[in-house]
Amino acid sequence: MLYIIIAIISFFIVITSIIMVIYYHKFQYLIIRINEAENNIDILLQKKIECISTIIPIIQNNTKEKEFLDDFSIIREKEKNHFEVNEFLRNSHVEIMKVIGDYEKLLKNDDFVGHMENLEDNEEDLVASIKYYNDNTVEFNHLISSFPSSIIRVFLHLKKKELYSTEKKEIFEILKK
């Protein structure tokens, strides 16, 4: 009888250990993917800063917008997280598109068009990297919230990660319920 009780307890310990190892590896895998996405986003945000920095003088020299995005240099001076930088750059991109609408002669400037093509290519890559980040972050946050992986979260001191877009936050909140 004692052997049966010890065997049952041992069985549960082994099964619990296996489950914990599986979830630990899931967390590690997602952390690696999220870090990879963050690194890609950082590189793409820096490229976007460079692209916009080269476009601003062209706009200032070819339009009446002499003070166009004069505050853009702030982005390099202040320490901001990726979310703030992305939002600032997105707003700057919108401002550039508005100026193009007002001054269509800019589209005849080959230098400007070349830089805009680079900016659009960068934007496509950035959107893809943000989607990759958000997809992995949603999965990570779901693991943190669900049992039994929430037990491992406590031992590893993991916290929910922030998402880039409000749409994904809403989807995660729906999935959480």
What is the 8-class DSSP label of residue 106? G
Residue 127 CA to residue 41 CA, distance in Å, equals: 9
Cβ pair 14, 55 in contact under 8 A: no
Q: 11-32: per-residue pLDDT in tens?
A: 999 998 898 899 899 999 999 9
Query: Residue 170: pLDDT band by 50, 70, 90 thresholds?
Result: very low
Residue 127: how many other CB atoms lie within 10 Å: 13
pLDDT, residue 77, reads: 64
pLDDT at residue 175 tops 60: no
> 49: which 2 tokens?
């800063």
pLDDT for the residue numbered 78:
66
User: Is residue 166 over pLDDT 70?
Assistant: no
Tell me the C-alpha distance between 103 and 62, whole Å.
9
Which range among 35-44, 64-73, 81-90 shows the weakest confidence by mean pLDDT? 64-73
What percent of the chain clears pLDDT 90, i.e. is strictly above it? 38
pLDDT for res 4: 92
Question: Among 69-73, 83-87, 97-101, 158-162, which stretch is predicted with the lowest mean pLDDT?
Answer: 69-73
| Spatial distance between the Cα atoms of 57 and 19, rounded to a whole number of angstroms | 58
Length of the chain: 177
Question: What is the tens place of the pLDDT at every residue in 126-146?
Answer: 999 999 999 999 999 998 888
Judge contact between 138 and 175, C-beta under 8 A.
yes
At residue 42, the pLDDT reads 92
- Nearest Cα neighbor of 131 from 175, 89, 91, 171 is 171
Which of 40-49, 65-74, 76-85, 157-166 has the largest mean confidence?
40-49
